[in-house]
A and B are shown apart, each in its own frame.
Chain A
Amino acid sequence: MMILGEWLRRIWYLVNRRRFEAALHEEMEAHRARLGQPARFGNTLRLREESRDVWGWTWLDALVRDFRFAARGLRRTPVYTVVVIGSLALGLALTTVMVSVVNAYLIRSLPYPAADRLYHVRYAPPGPWEPRGMTGLDWTSVEDVIEFPIASLGESFYLADGRYTVALRGLRVTRGFADGLGVSVAVGRRLLGEDFLPGSERVALIGHSLWRDRFGSDPGAIGRAIRVEAESRPGSPESFRIVGVIAPGFYYGRDSRTAVEILVPNTDPVRTYMVRLRAEVPPAIAARRLTEAARRAATSPIPSDWTGVQLESVRDRWVGGLRPILFGVTLAVSLVLVIVCANVTVLMLLRSMRRQREVAVRLALGSDWWHIARMLLTETLLICTTALGVGVAIATVALRTLAPLIEKQLGRQAPDPSGIEIGTTVLVVVGGVSLLLAVALSVLPLTSWGRTRTNALQQDVRIASEGRSMRRLRSALVAFEIAGSLVLLVGCGLMIRSVMTMLHTDFGFDAEGLTTSRIMLRARNYPNPAAYRLLYERFIRQVSDGLGSRIVFSSWPPFVPPPTHLIERDEGTAVGAGFIAVSAGYFSTFRISLGQGREFTAEEASAEATVAVVSETLAARLWPAGDAIGRRVRDVEQTPGGSTAGPWRTVVGIARDVRQTYDDADRSDFYIAKTPDGRFGTFYARTSRPASPLFDQLQRAAGDIDRDAVINPPRPVADDDQTRVETRFLTRMLTTFAASASVLAMLGVYGVTAYAVQQRHKEIAIRIALGASDRAVMRLFLREGVQLLGFGTVLGLIGATAFSRVLSAHIVGVQNSQASTWVTASALLLSAGFATVFWAARRADVGNPASALNAG
């Protein structure tokens, strides 16, 4: 209480300081005036200061004074101030953007409560086999380790109240799902326990986008009924009462990036593929307990080599693919920031040299080292704070346009409704970084003053200051900058090369200009497979006529390895190969050339004729003699129940090898002729028509044949090439970084050379007066500059070796043995550096040596 009162009085004093001090002054003067001998009163100024000290705000005064002094000093050297603050702001802006991205994707958790306790459940390694009876797993027996079993069934709900039928991405979810993922709502209420009881009213939550698009964000939508037909229950439309709108940003799916449009309670038994562990439970223990529970629940014999239930962190799976790319970017940004710092340090060192006389005067007047250190620290702090403000402002503006682009480039939305933003965490991190910078940047100039003695005043400081060690330090810093820039340039070169390699990678087909979409039909309209096929054939004819180019169906998309079947030739030899069913015209539409033979006809696809096309690799493996055409072959599909053999087919064509990934090792593929005969069909067209009119045309064509048919919006096939998209993104980032780093390094080289020229002005004048030619003087500086560049390059090549190793370990197609990239990057940097040195050294032209000597 005492302390609190004291502090309140202190603050009261601070607020009313002027008044207090005036009153004290007046009081003391009145007192002094009444004394016969005013000297008995003592030194008024000193006494007033002592009185002020009692209130304890002197440090604040000192601070304000220091800041004012620093600001005045900086104002006197506007170019220096702008360059230093500008480059630091640039570096901090990059850091802010990078930290926000990393924070959004890697640090901040998924949009679920306790996301670090969410785990995917795998009952068996990926493949066809999984123990049966897992829907009956007794979750109450593992209640002590598992907080919520989270289960859902994906379901398409057809909504047919508009012009076309649309499919809504829906989920039937268990109570554990609603609680464990904390499905929150923007409007209305959440799902409650009673919603999951059998016989309760059927309720639904709708997605935010559905609410916006269908209901115009009307809060009155709550309570209304929505009538849909579920994919799994054809012919029996269901009606749900809308009780809430899912908060925007709720995602759920294989990798948590699918927005849910309708979410309804599920009461049927369902297999659980996700759990939330109780706090403090190690996943290994939970996995062991789940394995025991799974053994008890299994209704089919479990093989002896069963590895048991495995848990995989949801977060790891979510960010796993992004980690290398974000790591690369972080590395690059850190390097840029370090280069910025080196540059600023060089500039500060140069400035501190010039201020040596001032420091000497201060020391002579009795200032102590602590005071001088404080002065310097205040100045750097002022610079860093301003730079931080400017940097965060730049980052805020930049992120407004960049955030959607970054999300698109990374191929997934940031896992939070607020997305990539500059929040408290980011500000704390970046603020900490700039504080560290301020301290680090003060150290070197301070040591440069370490040997300043008051006798420096008697000498010509401008010459005396140029100590050998200081010059070395400065040169080392600039060499370091050159090295860092070279590292970034080499990295950037390697990335560009890898993108070039990717662009030139022959996938065996031409993805550019290919568009894909999907058609979904409703089972009740089609009594048998033949009816489906009839529709697809009519659809193909109708759309192909309208587009002027053929649309083709395929059972498997490009860029994804197809399922492997065993391929047997009649002699009894079998090899594994990718199995794809395609419709007529597939090879010509995909531009996969046929080395021999022909592609499937429409009749063959329609009749599922017993013909096959094999890839060159498969043909060579099965018939090394090269006589594949006309041979007999069949596929054998292996399932947990045993293997199913297809009919014997005749090879009618040999197609060029197709890659599914950049490092696809096995290019054996087996194609059969088949127009789809099921509820879904994915089709491709080679067209230049823009997406929106194309979508309209496809919907019209499908709607003419079947009003219930649903078409997905078409999108370019090339977008599926995620590797290329990511690499291109990283390349762009690295190019930006390398360019800014190089500019900064050149600034450093220029600064150091120009300063050296200025320092040796008199020496040059003497040399010229003694008969040295301009060229000889120039050579003097060029030699030093070249030494600097050479040293930096060697250092940079060593750093680049490490950096390229990191890159090549993480990014497809990057090889660190591309000598030409190294040579090009070094040559680029060296020539830019040489030009800069030359430019700076031209200042060595002193004109008339006599006047130069006199001027000093």
Chain B
Amino acid sequence: MPREDGLPPGTLVMLILHVLTGGPRHGYAIAQRIHTLSREELSVEEGSLYPALQKLLLKGWVKASPAISETGRAIREYRLTPSGRRQLERECANYRRMGAAIDAVLDTA
């Protein structure tokens, strides 16, 4: 994702996967959820969600099914697949390990 303003590279995918653990959601809801959960800290250019979702679809980490939005428009709902769940675990573990390592460096210096 080249334009994940304010997000460390690669984390958008992880965030989307995490948000979807709470159940199927459509694009707008995913964006809202990330926004809320980050205590409005992470302000993503919301459209960049869609290229990321295409990647998740291609990798088979999420599945899309047609749905109708609250405003009555045809949209798609995304659901986490078992392989998506495994991917999330891998990414989280990676992220935590990296974070701990960076913290360690910052603490000692």
The residues of A with any CB-CB pair to B shorter than 8 Å are 2, 5-6, 9-10, 13, 23-24, 26-35, 40-44, 47-48, 50-55
Contact = CB atoms under 8 A, between A and B. Distances in A.
A50 B51 contact: yes
B106 to A, nearest CB: 32
Given A9-B58, A9-B60, A47 B74 contact: no
Contacts of B55: 54
B58 A43 contact: no
B74 A23 contact: yes
A5 B45 contact: no
B90 interface: no
A44 B45 CA distance: 11
A43 to B, nearest CB: 7
Contacts of B3: 42
The secondary structure that dominates the A interface is helix
B48 to A, nearest CB: 6
A275 B50 CA distance: 72
Given A28-B47, A42-B45, A5 B60 contact: yes
A55 B46 contact: no
A23 B76 contact: yes
Contacts of A6: 58-60
| A-B CB proximity, top 9 nearest | A42-B47, A54-B54, A30-B73, A50-B51, A47-B47, A42-B45, A41-B47, A51-B54, A51-B51
A828 B26 CA distance: 81
B24 interface: no
A27 B27 contact: yes
A306 to B, nearest CB: 77
A55 B54 contact: yes
Question: Which among B50, B51, B53, B71 has the greatest number of chain A C-beta atoms within 10 A?
Answer: B50
A213 B68 CA distance: 78
Contacts of B48: 42, 47, 50
Contacts of B51: 47, 50-51, 53-54
Given A42-B45, A55-B58, A28 B73 contact: no
Nearest to A44: B47
A2 B57 CA distance: 13
B14 interface: no
Interface in B2-34: 2-3, 26-28, 31
27 contacts: A6-B58, A9-B60, A23-B66, A23-B76, A24-B54, A26-B73, A27-B26, A27-B50, A27-B75, A27-B76, A28-B27, A30-B69, A30-B75, A31-B27, A31-B31, A31-B75, A32-B47, A33-B73, A34-B69, A42-B3, A42-B47, A43-B47, A50-B51, A51-B54, A54-B54, A54-B58, A55-B58
Contacts of A55: 54, 58
Contacts of B53: 51
Given A33-B73, A42-B47, 17 more contacts: A5-B60, A9-B60, A13-B58, A24-B50, A24-B54, A26-B75, A27-B26, A30-B69, A30-B74, A41-B45, A42-B48, A44-B47, A47-B51, A48-B50, A50-B50, A51-B50, A53-B51
Contacts of A23: 66, 74, 76
Question: Which among A24, A31, A51 has the greatest number of chain B C-beta atoms within 10 A?
Answer: A31
Question: Which among A5, A35, A42, A55 has the greatest number of chain B C-beta atoms within 10 A?
Answer: A42
Nearest to A49: B51
Nearest to B43: A40
Question: Which among B45, B47, B53, B60 has the greatest number of chain A C-beta atoms within 10 A?
Answer: B47
Interface of B: 2-3, 26-28, 31, 45-48, 50-51, 53-55, 57-60, 66, 69, 71, 73-76
Contacts of A29: 73
B74 A33 contact: no
A28 B74 CA distance: 10
A38 to B, nearest CB: 10
A5 B60 CA distance: 8
A27 B47 CA distance: 11
Given A5-B60, A6-B60, A31 B54 contact: no
Contacts of A42: 3, 45-48
A26 to B, nearest CB: 6
Given A27-B50, A47-B48, A50-B51, A33 B58 contact: no
Nearest to A26: B74
B10 to A, nearest CB: 15
Contacts of B50: 24, 27-28, 47-48, 50-51
A52 B50 CA distance: 10
Contacts of B74: 23, 26-27, 30
A41 B58 contact: no
Nearest to A27: B75
A141 B27 CA distance: 83
A658 to B, nearest CB: 85
Given A23-B74, A26-B75, A55-B54, A35 B46 contact: yes
A48 B47 CA distance: 9
B76 A31 contact: no
Contacts of A53: 51
A9 B46 contact: no
Contacts of B59: 6
A23 B78 CA distance: 13
A682 B7 CA distance: 101
A57 to B, nearest CB: 11
B46 A31 contact: yes
Nearest to B69: A30
Contacts of B73: 26, 29-30, 33
Given A54-B55, A54-B58, A30 B28 contact: yes
B57 to A, nearest CB: 7
Nearest to B55: A54
B77 to A, nearest CB: 10
A58 to B, nearest CB: 13
Contacts of A9: 57-58, 60
A85 to B, nearest CB: 41
B28 A31 contact: yes
Contacts of A32: 47
B85 to A, nearest CB: 15
A23 B68 CA distance: 12
A35 B46 CA distance: 9
Contacts of A27: 26-27, 50, 74-76
B58 A10 contact: yes
A263 to B, nearest CB: 63
A35 B51 CA distance: 18
A54 to B, nearest CB: 4
